[in-house]
Amino acid sequence: MGSSRRKFTKEFKEEATRRLELGASLAEVARACEVNPNVLHRWRREVREYGAKAFAGNGQRRVEEGRLAELERKVGRQALEIDFLRRCLQHVEEQRKLQALTTRVSSTRTSRKK
């Protein structure tokens, strides 16, 4: 019950997939490496998709890529919000200036005594 997952080195995975590419059967390589054939399928797919970048790190690469993409989306949303708020502030400032100008003109007219 307390067994932990086995970890395989990059070299081990590359060697297993190399054997598959050289024509060894999936069952043969799975028995020799003592891994499930589904694991070999996944390793072979990763080599095809990522080439030399396959098996980098401790299996955290895709999680880190997802986190990075999430943070980039968040930065994008915040940049849009900042632009929107700047435009709102600019509009409010323009309205304030117009209001100040119209208030001064009308107040000077009414304050004069005839």
- Extents of the domains making up the chain: 8-56
The CATH number given to 8-56 is: 1.10.10
Does position 37 have pLDDT exceeding 90, yes or no? yes
Instruction: Check if the beta carbon of residue 30 is closer than 8 Å to that of residue 37.
Output: yes
Average pLDDT over residues 54-78: 79
pLDDT of residue 112: 56
Residue 110 φ/ψ region, left for φ over 0, alpha for ψ in the -120 to 50 degree band, beta for the rest = alpha
Highest-pLDDT range among 57-71, 80-94, 100-114: 80-94
pLDDT of residue 91: 96
Instruction: Check if the beta carbon of residue 36 is closer than 8 Å to that of residue 30.
Output: yes
Does position 31 have pLDDT exceeding 90, yes or no? yes
**Position 43 confidence tier, pLDDT thresholds 50, 70, 90:** very high
Least Cα distance to 9 among 37, 43, 49, 51 occurs for: 43
Rg (alpha carbons) of the chain, rounded to whole number: 33
Q: CA 71 from chain center: how many Å? A: 6
pLDDT of residue 22: 92
The fraction of the chain above a pLDDT of 70, given in percent, is 82
Burial class of residue 53 in the structure, from the number of CB atoms within 10 Å of its CB (0-12 exposed, 13-18 middle, 19+ buried) = exposed
pTM above 0.85, yes or no: no
Three-class SS state of 55: coil
